[in-house]
Amino acid sequence: MFGNPETTPGGRALKFYSTIRLEVRRAEQIKDGTDIIGNRVRIKVVKNKVAPPFKRAEVDIMYGQGVSQSGELIDMAVEKDIVNKSGSWYSYGEERIGQGRENAKAYLVDHPDVYAEVKTKVRDAYGIPDVDDKASGNKPKTEVVEDESLDLDTDK
């Protein structure tokens, strides 16, 4: 009567021994005209032993491509006011990049320079280090603190 009626097949051991369990549900279909080209899915973390549980996310899974990176970039840029959304129109700076989310995603794919610029701003807004810095071996700036070793020998 109460709670989720779905069960995990395979007994109780799978629930106990799993480190991360996700519940993935289709939210809506992504269409190009009448053709279905992907699904928008809701992901709920049911169990997580290595990070905070019970988080939720929505992502686009495009058939033949996987998770839509341009869709995620649009969502994160709108959240941080890097890309403005007014009604169904998306704009970056003074330029309108598309009416509707799919057209805005297509614009970013067709204009890699704008995609890279928005991606850099989103990374800066979220405090994510640039991937190129990791690849080139540049280490993040850290302060080195000299520590004197303690002489614990009491036999003196």
Report the C-alpha gap between 114 and 58 in whole angstroms: 24
Place of tokens 């990049």: 97
Residues contacting 117, CB < 8 A, separation 6+? none
Handedness of CA 87, 89, 92, 95 (dihedral sign): negative
The amino acid sitting at 29 is Q
Q: Which of 130, 85, 123 has the alpha carbon at shortest distance from 104? A: 85
Pairing between β-strand 95-99 and β-strand 20-32 as defined by DSSP bridges: unpaired
| pLDDT attached to residue 134 | 57
Q: How far is residue 60 from each of residues 68, 78, 89, 148, measured CA to CA in Å?
A: 5, 16, 19, 53
**Model confidence, pTM:** 0.71
Host H or E run for residue 56 = strand 56-62
Q: Is the CATH number of domain 68-129 3.30.365.10?
A: no
**Where do the structural domains in the chain lie, given as residue ranges?**
11-67, 68-129
* pLDDT score recorded for residue 74: 94
What local confidence, expressed as pLDDT, does residue 128 receive? 87
Q: Give the pLDDT confidence of 65-114 residue by residue, as tens digits.
A: 999 999 999 999 999 999 999 999 999 988 999 999 989 999 999 999 99
Q: Where are the alpha helices (DSSP H) in the chain?
A: 13-17, 69-79, 101-110, 112-126, 131-136
CA 13 to chain centre: 30
